[in-house]
Amino acid sequence: MHNVLRGWVLHNPLLHKELRQRMRSGRTVLGLSMYLLIIGAVAFVFMYLNVQGQTLLLQPARTAELFTFLSYLQLALISFVTPGVAAGVISGERERQTLSVLLTTPLLPASVIFTKWVTSISFLSLLMIMTLPLYSIVFLFGGVAPSQVLAVFILQLITLGAIAGASIFWSTFIQRTGWSTVLSYATVGGIFLGAGVAGYLFDSLSTHMPDQGLWSMLSGICYTINPIYMQAALESSRGFFTPTFHNSLVESVFQTVKTHNLTSSGSWMFFMSVYVGGCLVLLGLCSWHLRPGTFAAAVRRFGRWLVR
Amino acid sequence: MIRTENLCKRYSRVEAVSDLNLDVRAGTVFGFVGENGAGKTTTMSILATLTQPTSGRAYVGGAEVTADAAAVRRQIGYMPDVFGVYDDLTVAEYLEFYGTAYGVTTPVIEARRAELLDMVRLTDKADAYVNTLSRGMQQRLGVARCLMHDPQVLILDEPASGLDPRSRIDMREIVKGLRERGKTVLISSHILPELADMCDEIGIIAHGKLVACAAVEVVAARANGQRQLAFDLLSGGQALAHAFRHERGVTDVLTCNETSVEILYSGSEEDQVALVRGVTLAGYPLKAVREVGASLEDLFLRLTEEPVLPSGA
C-alpha cells in the first residue's frame, strides 16, 4: 500500500508535471476567478432579492434556501465544467502528438489514466473549495449544519469524480477531443436530464400500468442515479430543514425524494456503487485501451506467477 | 541489438509490414529507407512497443517486444516522425519529467540534463518554454529527451523531416555523435544522401518488404550490379570516352572531359582489370582509376519502382 501511494502519488512524475502545467497556466487563474465571480454574483443577487433590507432578521428558512440554491448552482457549474476539463486529457495528448512518447516510457497505462483523473478532479475540487467562504454566509444566520455542507460537498465530489471518469473514458476511446467533449456532455445530460425524465415517465407508467412494482422500481433507480435527487435527499435528510421554495419543480423534486425514500441507506449504497464502481470500471477500460497489450501481458505474468 | 523475424502487420486489407527480417548490430547506425507508406513507421512503432505485430517476432536487446515490452521500453529512446511538446514546461522541466518517468535519480538527471543540453546546443535555452522553441530546436530536444535514461537503442523516425538545411546538418552531427557514444541507432529518412553520410548500414523497404539490406556501399553495388568507374588522365579524355562506347561491359559513359571520364561498368572484376590494362596499353596517359559509390538516391528509386525482390537480399 505504501509503495502504491509512493509510486502513484508522491513520486508520480506525471502527476507533478500535470499539476505544474495546470496550476502555472494563466487560464487556470482566469477560470478560477470567473467561477468564483459567477457563483458569488449569483449568490449575492439571490440574497439581495430574498433579504431586501431585512438583514437583521433571523431567517433560518431563508438560509436553508440560500444553501440549497448555492449547492445546486455549484452542482450545475461543476457538471458543466468537468467535461470541459476532463474530456481532452487523453485525446488532447493524442492530438498534440505527445501520447506515443508517453507510452514508450515505463509509466503504466493505469498510472497515466489515474493521474489524469486525479489532476482533473484536483482542479475541480479546488473550484469547490474556493467557494467555501461563500458557504460560510449561510452559517451567519443558522439553519444549516457544517456536517450537512460537508455531506453535500462529498456528494458533489463523487459526482464530479464519476463525470470526470466518464469524460476520460470518451477521451481515451474517441480520437478527437471535440467528439469526446460532445459525448461527455451527452453523458452528463443523460445522468441529469435523461434519468430525471425517465424516472418521471416510469412514475407515470406505474400509476397507469398493471405491473406497478416494476415501473416504480425503475423510476426509483433512475432517481437514485440522478445527483439532483440525491442531493435533495441529502438536504432533506436528518430533518435539518425543509426548504420553503414556492416552486413546483423544486417541490416535486423534494416530494419525489420522500415518495421513493431516497434518503434510505439502500439508495445511498446503490448511488455509491454506480458512481464509484462505474468510475473504476471506466478507468480500468481506459487503461486497457491505452496500451492493449498490457492486459494480456499482465495475465501472462499472473499465469507465470501462479505456476511458480 | 535489434532483430525481427518474419514480422508482419496487417491493417484490415492492407499489409503494412510483410515478413520483415531485420538484424541491426550493436553500436551501428542503421538507416531505414522507404517511400511514404512503405512500412518504416509501422516497423518502428512495433519496435517501440506502441503497435502489436500481427505475426512474427521483434527483439530489442534480446527482449521480445510483445512478451517483454517493459524491458524493451527501458532499453529504447523513441522519437516519432511527428511529436508535440508540452505547453507551460521549460526545457529543463521537460527533460526532468522524462528522466523521472524512467526512474532516473535527481542527481543523475541534473548531470545528464546539462550534458545533453550541451550536446544538442540548447544549454542557453534551459529555462525557455518548450513550445517557444523552433522546430529544429524541438527536434534536437527530442533527441536529448530520448537519451535522458541513457538507453542503448535509439529509434528515430525521420528526425530531420521538415527541418531547414542548417538544422539537418545539426541533426546529422548529433546522430554521428550518438554512434561515437556506442549507441545503436535505427533511423529512417527520405533524405538519402544524408543517410549515406551517417549510416553504417541501410535497409530499403518497399511495400512492407525489405528489398535490400547491407552496408551502404555494398547495397549500392549489389543492387546496381554495376560499378561506377572514374578514370583520371593527363589528356585524351574525349577519345577514351569514345572508345569506351564500343567496349563490352561499359553500360554508359556518365561524364567526360579531357582529363576525366566516368563510366558505368557491369563486367566482372577480371574484366575490369583487363579494361584498365587495355587503357594503359592503348597509350592513354592514365593517372588513376577510382571506383565511385553509386548514387543511393538512384538505387532507392530503382528498387522501389521495380517488383519486390525476395527479402533478406
CB A163 within 8 A of CB A138: no
Cα gap A173→A91, rounded to integer Å:
8
Residue B259 lies in a domain: yes
Q: Which residues contact B244 (CB under 8 A, 6 or more apart)?
A: B250, B253, B261, B263
Query: Which conformational region is residue B36 in: left (phi greater than 0), alpha (psi within -120 to 50 degrees), or beta?
Result: beta
Task: Pick A98's closest partner by Cβ from B49, B83, B102.
Answer: B83
Same domain, B243 and B161: no
Residue among A104, A116, A289, A290 with most chain B CBs within 10 A, to mutate: A104
pLDDT of A237 > 70? The answer is: no
pLDDT tens digits for range B141-156: 988 999 999 899 999 9
Residue of B nearest to A112 (CA): B101
CB B179 within 8 A of CB B29: yes
- pLDDT tens for residues B76-129? 999 988 888 888 889 999 999 999 999 898 899 999 999 999 888 889 999 999
For residue B272, being part of any structural domain is answered with: yes
Bridging pattern class, strands B250-257 and B260-265: antiparallel
Q: Are residues B162 and B288 in the same domain?
A: no
DSSP track, A95-163? HTT-HHHHHTSS--HHHHHHHHHHHHHHHHHHHHHHTHHHHHHHHHS-SS-HHHHHHHHHHHHHHHHHH
Same domain, B235 and B212: no
Nearest-Cα residue of chain B relative to residue A27: B88
CA distance B85 to B108: 23
A238-252, B95-109, B213-227, B240-254 — most confident range: B95-109
Determine the Cα–Cα distance for residues B212 and B218; give it in Å rounded to an integer: 10
In this structure, are B168 and B282 located in the same domain? no
Predicted ipTM > 0.85: no
Give the strand pairing for B184-189 and B29-34. parallel
What pLDDT is recorded for position B313? Answer: 37
Q: Label residue A87 by pLDDT band (50, 70, 90).
A: very high
- In angstroms, the separation between the Cα of residue B26 and the nearest Cα of chain A is 21
Q: How many domains does the structure of chain B reveal? A: 2
Q: How far apart are CA A188 and CA A83, in angstroms?
A: 8
Choose the closest CB to A292 out of B52, B86, B98. Answer: B52
CB A178 within 8 A of CB A94: no
Q: What are the chain A neighbours of B103 within 8 Å (beta carbons)?
A: 106
Q: Does residue B306 fall inside a structural domain? A: no
A292-296 contacts, C-beta under 8 A, 24 or more apart: A292/B52, A293/B49, A293/B52, A293/B66, A293/B69, A294/A108, A294/A109, A294/B69
Question: Smallest Cβ distance to B52: which of A14, A101, A293?
Answer: A293
pLDDT, tens only, A5-26: 666 666 788 998 888 888 887 8
CATH number at residue B6: 3.40.50.300
Query: Final residue of a domain: which of B221, B244, B276?
Result: B221
Q: What residues make up the domain containing B256?
A: 227-293
The helix (H) or strand (E) run that includes residue A215 is: helix A212-224
Residue pair B128/B91 in contact by the 8 Å Cβ criterion:
yes
Q: Do B235 and B277 fall within a single domain?
A: yes
What pLDDT does residue B218 have?
A: 65
Could you write out the DSSP letters of every residue in B210-240? EEEEEEHHHHHHHHHSSEEEEEEESS-HHHH
Write out pLDDT tens, residues A48-58.
777 665 655 55
Chain A residues in contact with B44 (beta carbon < 8 A): none
Residues B245 and B195 in one domain: no
Q: Is A1 a residue whose pLDDT tops 60?
A: no
Give yes or no: residues B146 and B236 share one domain: no
Q: What is the pLDDT of residues B27-75, one digit of tens each?
A: 889 988 887 788 888 999 999 988 888 888 899 988 888 888 888 998 9
Q: CATH number for the domain including B247?
A: 3.30.70
- Please check whether residue A137 is in contact with residue A47, taking contact to mean a CB–CB distance below 8 angstroms: yes
Domain identity same for B55 and B136: yes
The answer to whether residue B170 scores a pLDDT higher than 60 is yes
